[in-house]
Structure 1
Amino acid sequence: MMDFDVVSLPDADHVTEGEEAPAFTRPLVTTDYWEDVALSDLLAEGPVLLVFTPMDGAFPTTYVYNELRDRGVADDVQVAGVSVSSPYEHATTIDDRGIQAFEGLFSDPQNGVAEAYGVEHDLDGMAGVSEARPAVFLVAEDRTVEYAWVSEEWPEFPEYDDVEAAIDEL
């Protein structure tokens, strides 16, 4: 049994289903390189499952990426992670987690994308330091959010069957 407390998170004023997903451009890290990529660039190729996680190395990040990888979600939709981690950390995570099928991981060190989506989480006892709370947004080509899940507790994980059902409905 893991030794940690489940913590309720404050309410989040996040993007919801039917709303337009905020546009952004950040470094997108893949197994080979990274470069600035806009969300709209990915959407030009089809829907995107945006997966917000705490920094790389945190166990919720590992669990979420492992589950999505094991379910083969990237076979049905583009998957892109978003966190405060650096491109170097993302490159290691892609390799360690075996998530080469993902489109990549966006590096968002100032947490601005998480703020735009309403999923930022201030870290206790660390003034001015925040990261994304676990969240999943399925975004259609026209930037409409088709599915949204945002954690209310830490740690908490999406209902993966619901994520797959939303992908199937596209």
Structure 2
Amino acid sequence: MKDTMRQTALTLAIETPDDWWEVEALYDLCFAPGRSALSSYRLREGVTPIGPLCLTARDTDGILAGAVRNWPVRVDGEQAVLLGPIAVHPTRQGEGVAALLMQRCLADARNLGWSRLMLVGDALYYRRFGFERLADVTMPPPTNPDRVLGVALEQGAWLGVSGAVTSIRD
């Protein structure tokens, strides 16, 4: 399942085990090694990511330009996808790499039958992908509640869903 993007000459592909260390190095470069101290990482510990929703973006030379991983979570007993981290190599920022990864994640999650997707991020940036603040959904502290965002992949998927986000452990 590969998708070649002509405008930026990138190939999007599902992350493989051989990509793992390179993706981890990209995350460290973009977010610093202390990234695992963030509260969202508590929801990822001991949880297998959703494999078909973990993507890499590589240029024509095979160099990693960006990556994203997605995780299963529950909110008030309802399943959701927790998107992130999404990272773009500093030399490729501003080229639309994150947007390509995001659009592919949304389409693939919908095609795989997921009804809701959430993340912690900047509302002004993610609004263009349909994300809105989830006022009644809480992430582990000290997450800023204004940065808890969600998008419905099917009509009304977030209606009535509220409460704390919890892990779906393996």
TM-score for the superposition, normalised by structure 1: 0.32
Larger strand percent: 2
Rg comparison, structure with higher value = 2
TM-score for the superposition, normalised by structure 2: 0.32
Larger helix percent: 2
